[in-house]
Structure 1
Amino acid sequence: MAIHPPYPTQPGGPAGPALRHPHWWQRRWVRYGSLITLLAMSGLVILALVREQTGTEGFLVGLGLAVFPVPLLIAAFRWLDRVEPGPWHNLLFSFAWGACAAALIAIVANSFATRWIAIATADPSSADTLGATVIAPVVEESAKAAAVLLVFLFRRRDFTGIVDGVVIAGVTATGFAFTENILYLGTAFGTDQLSGDSGLASVTAATFFVRVVMSPFAHPLFTVLTGIGFGFAALSAERRHVRRVLFPLTGLLLAMGMHAIWNGSSGFGEWGFFGVYAAFMVPAFGLLTWLAVWTRQRELRTVRAELPAYTVAGWLGATEPWALGSMRARRLAREYAGHHFGKAAARSVAEYEAFATSLAFLRHRGRLGRAGADFVVRERELLDELWRRRGIARPALAYAARATTPVPAPPPWPAHGYAHSYGYATQHAQPYAPPVPYPAYNPYRS
């Protein structure tokens, strides 16, 4: 029987209240079933609306052309999320919400608002301009932000920082842009059918070039600002209620403002669109791309900095913090496990890497006083997941560390200094020391 390393213990004290069975409307299958039904109904309604406006042939053409940027955008956000990959069902929900629920809200609300303004002002042209530059940004960004808010509230463990906000917001906006592109491209195709135009001079070709080739990142760029706001809120301590509200609102207002400038670019003259694109959109896209990549690298540094405490306590091997802080070493570890032990082993190593990363981030938030009251429980869960996969993951990560480190592997971490500051009592010569008391974490400690 294997000897378990020192396991964090629950703080002492009286037992909590007895668990109560949730009401039927609080059960998970009821919530998931209701959400799936809502998204499915929204999808059917939006399908009917788009098909009614574009016709069957236009819808099929728009669908075929609109799908082109989707795999590239999803792959980009998945690459960004590789350090601590979130559950696939969060991304599926985000895309479905953007493509179905948010798109339906936008079409209905934008049409109603524009029609009401046209009646009130008796000027349809100004109503269209006002609807595009004021109404549409507010409605569309609010509808897309709802998906980020839902993940933030109900999947809080999966939403821990800026990268999570960027990924959820970007995937939601990708779904929204997908549906919107079907509508625009299908309508353009119908216009070409009536006028007899075809080829590069057609409205369809021009629409495809502007929306799919030049600016596939437009909607993701706007909504990512909202995601960054939620990401900063996730990094704030739970008791910082004002910050946790102001950050998302600020991000949402910035998203609306950028969206309004983009939609209003056609009113800035003949070359207004290209001027806004070159002077505003491209620099903003470059800045946000740099921020996202820098945040990803910062996450890797956090992994390398926080995990040595668990090496001292015997939960991780001596070289694992280095290997887990390198994307190349992680890939080599998965390939090693897959080559020697099969696909199931490679998946086990990938899960080990994800749990270890979550553990590092949890530890980092706890050290900064930003973790929740369930710090100890969550830490125990993550350590248990690591321990169950150590047989496959440790040799794979050790191989990856040797392959990517130009110097010999460092000796075991000392039992003083860094580890002691984290509250771990360890035995220098005994990597798997007997259990010792673990100081309970107090998230409200000043």
Structure 2
Amino acid sequence: MFLSILGFLMIATFMYLIMSKRLSAMIALILIPVVFALIGGFSSDLGNLMLSGVKSIAPTGVMLVFGILYFGIMIDAGLFDPVVDKTLKAVKGDPVKIVVGTAVLALLVSLDGDGSTTYMIVIAAMLPLYRRLGMNPLILTAVTMLSSGVMNIIPWGGPTARVMSALHLDASQVFTPVIPCMITAVLWVVFVAYILGKKERKRLGHSHESLSKEEEIASFRIAATLEVPEYKRPKLLWVNFTLTAALIVSLVMNILPIPVLFMIAFALAMMINYPNLEEQKERMSAHAGNALSVAGMVFAAGIFTGILTGTKMVDAMAGTLVAMIPDALGPHMPIFTAIISMPFTFFMSNDAFYFGILPLITKATAAYGIEAGDMARASLLGQPVHLLSPLVPSTYLLVGLAGVNFGDHQRFTLKWAIGTTIVMLITALVIGIIAF
């Protein structure tokens, strides 16, 4: 019980400090778990616990560093300029179309099942457009994450594979019945994008219907002031496109480990676009700050998870939460599981929830005649909220690329993420894929 209380207090303290902006996320991820580990009497093992967590997350850190550098080079070279320019002409400066377009792009790119890849592609393509028009980047991160949260349920995305493995089920029992829920969630995300776009249109003080030719010209003039012509490589557009397409295909096919793929792609991109050593140094310096901040955050998160897991706090928390479930909820456990999957996967990793808690509550609810498939499907519905967790490395990539504060992103996105889960839950109940 002591470890459980300590774990909950640690997470609550961490969330309070970063959401109230009393500490940065990176500092809090390092210091808060250290303090609580010392309180718990783990001083002798502290170094090993921290190092173990850092080692476990090292491949992710490497991937993010070189992923940021690679897409930074592609932005510098102008790979996404045609997309931005054509989009700007098509939407005519209308924030509604831009935000809805962001949602559609993120939903399509998320089909590869990798959140980090989705964030890098969508942010690289859309952030320049948001900047040109003075739009709130929090809308970009929110809509992108909501889209990724829905598509993260696909079998190759991670959570569904964990559920099938933990409960010994196949895709036809877990994923296929959830497809209608995903469809309604997709419609919800597009609707949210429309709402946010309408608010942004109002904030910017112009309407789509009244946008004049002069305003369109002004938009392009603003765009021109943000360009860095000397670093553009328009003649290498198709070479860069081919290289990026090859990278994405290799990521999907898992030809090599993802960190290695990004390292190779970065080296090739740098040699092709900036063969001069001085130019390479300049481009590296231009993106080093962003890469360092994201990598630092990820390695700091490794310390947090290393201590949380190594001290067995997460196991104690899981046991406490399961013990708190009253018998009266037994017949309604699928609904309860869908709801608690939001905070559970927020405060702990997917592995801890799906391999630790889910099998326990599934076994307990079998006495009420509830099938494992119902519990499996219900447990997936909290994934849109899960991605807001400080324990998800790709989230730091998202906020780092967009240049927004982690706590601001959480506050802005949370209600819409909860709404996504509720929409999926209502759909699941209506079509009867989880027991009522």
TM-score by length of 1: 0.24
Larger radius of gyration: 1
Would you tell me which structure has more helix in proportion to its own residues?
2
Relative contact order (C-alpha < 8 Å, sep 6+): which is higher?
2
TM-score by length of 2: 0.24
